[in-house]
């Protein structure tokens, strides 16, 4: 290799000479995504940069190659017995000129295989979620790039983790449920514990992608989503609902029936309650993972009747003519 052909692999990857294996891997993933040909159509400069990044990673990710590179600098290849080719080593060739990327289902799939060949970890996959009629829940092909979310599979360890979205009904999430899932040709049963909330991730050990070197599999992470409910919503750790009351109930107070996850309860509405105020039902909310229940908040809305009977209208007229309270009195002094 001529002196002018020497490439500073640390500079190419944007890391220091003391960079750890994880730092090198992280930088490689970022740059490989940035300069990947599928993301830079007909861009010769990006294609050349992509080749450099892969060449740099091939050397710096291999402890023996990196040691020779650090020791001999521009003559590191001559110091490596049995090496051949412009960028390859024993059993590995990363010259991507004319490479057919169409054989891969996604960018992550390509990087997973590349890292596996070079002894690195694979990225996490994202599967699409769908219902298959009355059968098991299915996880189909790739819908988008998952990004590199912390690879978990080293070349000699387990395969990379996989992640999928799983939508539950509010009832299923509250009580817990067993789901039958379809992962390609494999069908598994997964127990979802009571009290799952939106955004929770449930780990299914040994159901991720397989490491082709040793047959070990990573884990599957199910990201929980909850379908909207007509009455209940989440507000932090509390379960929230809105209950309408009539004007007379708000003024005089009343006892009303309020639904909770495990049945209706009688709630006392205090006299003079205002719209938007909340009443707290302790221990009637969402289950805690450690045991026990959170609270249910009952937000009050004033329901104004539209169709009045003759008698009702007469009474409202009497109230209006005899009313002593003026809710707009404080507005008389308002000026610009």
Encode burial over 18-46: b for 16+ CB neighbours within 10 A, e otherwise.
ebeeeebbbbbbebbbebbbeeeeeeeeb
pTM score, whole prediction:
0.51
Q: Would you say residue 56 has pLDDT above 80?
A: yes
Is residue 266 over pLDDT 90?
A: yes
Domains of the chain and any CATH numbers: 1-103 (1.10.287.110), 119-228 (2.60.260.20), 233-323 (2.60.260.20)
Q: What is the pLDDT of residue 133?
A: 37
Give per-residue pLDDT as tens, 16-44.
Answer: 988 898 889 888 888 888 888 777 878 88
Choose between 74 and 191: higher pLDDT. 191
């Amino acid at each position: 290799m001529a002196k002018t052909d020497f490439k500073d692999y640390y500079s190419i990857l944007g890391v220091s000479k003391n960079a750890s294996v994880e730092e090198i891997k992280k930088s490689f993933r970022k740059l490989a995504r940035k300069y990947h040909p599928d993301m830079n159509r007909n861009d010769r400069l990006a294609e050349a940069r992509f080749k450099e990044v892969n060449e740099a990673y091939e050397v710096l990710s291999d402890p023996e190659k990196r040691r020779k590179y650090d020791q001999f600098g521009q003559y590191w290849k001559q110091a490596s017995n049995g090496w051949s080719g412009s960028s390859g080593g024993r059993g590995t060739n990363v010259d991507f000129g004319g490479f057919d990327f169409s054989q891969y289902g996604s960018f992550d799939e390509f990087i997973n295989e590349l890292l596996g060949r070079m002894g690195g970890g694979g990225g996490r996959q994202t599967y699409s979620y769908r219902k298959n009629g009355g059968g098991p829940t299915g996880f189909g092909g790739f819908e988008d790039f998952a990004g590199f979310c912390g690879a978990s599979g080293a070349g000699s360890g387990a395969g990379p983790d996989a992640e999928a979205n799983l939508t539950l009904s509010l009832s299923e999430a509250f009580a817990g449920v067993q789901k039958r899932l379809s992962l390609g040709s494999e069908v598994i049963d997964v127990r979802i514990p009571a009290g799952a909330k939106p955004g929770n991730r449930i780990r299914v050990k040994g159901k991720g992608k397989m490491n082709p070197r040793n047959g070990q599999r990573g884990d599957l992470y199910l990201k929980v989503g909850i379908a909207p409910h007509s009455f209940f919503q989440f507000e932090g750790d509390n379960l929230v609902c809105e209950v309408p009351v009539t004007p007379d109930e708000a003024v005089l107070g009343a006892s009303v029936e309020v639904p909770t996850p495990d049945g209706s309860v009688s709630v006392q509405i205090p006299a003079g309650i205002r719209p938007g105020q909340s009443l707290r039902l302790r221990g009637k909310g969402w289950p805690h993972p450690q045991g026990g229940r959170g609270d249910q908040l009952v937000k009050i809305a004033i329901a104004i009747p539209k169709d009045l009977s003759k008698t009702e209208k007469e009474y409202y007229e009497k109230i209006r003519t005899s009313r002593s309270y003026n809710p707009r009195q404080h507005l008389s002094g308002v000026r610009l």
